[in-house]
Amino acid sequence: MDEQLKAAQLDCKRYKALLDELEAPLDVDVAQLDGEIEQLELDERQLRAELASLALAQQQIVVDKEAEHRLRIEEERMLREYAALKRCMLRKEDELRSTENQSRCAVVQLDKLKKTNVFNATFHIWHKDHFGTINGFRLGRLASVPVEWAEINAAWGQACLLLCSLARKMGLQFTKYRPVPFGNFSYIECLDEKGKQLPLYATGGVRFFWDSKFDQGMTAFLECLRQFKEAVESGDTKFALPYRVQKDRLEDSNNSYSIKIQLNSEEHWTKALKFMLTNLKWGLAWVASQFPDG
């Protein structure tokens, strides 16, 4: 009990000391406090101004971010358009290069065509085994190689067309006979006998061997070839066909072959036709050299 009483008395003394301290007058500088309050109010206004500025800055940041987003979208759109235009440009450049290549090829081809003689390009005379050929058609037949008459007739049509073309280029007017190209049914027109035609085509068969018109037509063709030769020789004394033409025969230095098929062997007839095509080839070459523009 005594200890509790002592503790209570000690607490009372402390409380009374604190009360006396609180009731004692404060030694405060009011002017200093007013200055501090004004400074605090000033600081508050500055802080509020800074806060308002920060709020405006934050709003501007939001606006700038939105603008940046729009710019990024616009940039992506422009990049896509650029990529599309780039692809289009590359495609156009490819088309331009292709067009330029085609143009160069066309120019080269045009130069080739300008240098190409129409006769050489149109009529190709060559040989295949025992046969002379014109544009791939064989002229003649053998027992071992029975060429179809349709092919022989086609070859005669090409030969007739060639001789007419060469004569037209030279301005040659045939006398007595005139070849008329008509495909597989070409013929020789007899100028002295109006309406008379000698065929340069045949169908074979039994009646064929007793019909001399085909032989007459081939002989008349040789006469037209001879007239062409003489027309060329009149302007070029150095020109000569490799095989002489004597009526129905073609001759080299050792042999003579008739172009008639009646009373003749197929081998000799085929040889005579080969000689005739060779003469035509020489005539073609001469005209091509004299008229390079075709």
pLDDT value, residue 30:
72
Q: Mean pLDDT for the chain? A: 88
Rounded to an integer, the average pLDDT of 110-139 is 81
State pLDDT tens for residues 157-185.
999 999 999 999 999 999 999 999 999 99
Of residues 199, 217, 225, the one with CA closest to residue 284:
225
Q: Read off the amino acid at residue 265.
A: S
**Which residues on neighbouring strands pair with residue 134, listed in sequence order?**
125, 137
pLDDT higher at 168 or 20: 168
Rounded to an integer, the average pLDDT of 22-30 is 66
pLDDT value, residue 183:
94
Instruction: Point out the least confidently predicted range of 21-25, 194-198, 283-287.
Output: 21-25
Structural tokens at position 44: 């508050």
pLDDT higher at 260 or 210: 260
The total of other beta-carbon atoms located within 10 Å of residue 179's CB is 26
What is the rounded CA–CA span in Å between residue 155 and residue 147? Answer: 11
Q: What is the CA radius of gyration of the chain?
A: 59
Give residue for tokens 């939001």.
62
pLDDT at 17 over 90: no
Q: What percent of the chain has pLDDT over 70?
A: 91
pLDDT at 123 over 80: yes
pLDDT value, residue 27:
62
State pLDDT tens for residues 200-212.
999 876 555 667 8
What is the rounded CA–CA span in Å between residue 29 and residue 35? Answer: 10
Rounded to an integer, the average pLDDT of 44-66 is 89
Q: What is the pTM assigned to this prediction?
A: 0.62
Q: What percent of the chain has pLDDT over 90?
A: 51
Name the band, by pLDDT with cuts 50, 70 and 90, for residue 148. very high
- Strands (E) across the chain are located at 125-128, 131-134, 137-139, 177-180, 187-190, 197-199, 244-246, 249-251, 256-258
State pLDDT tens for residues 214-254.
999 999 999 999 999 999 999 888 999 999 999 999 998 88
Name the band, by pLDDT with cuts 50, 70 and 90, for residue 32. confident
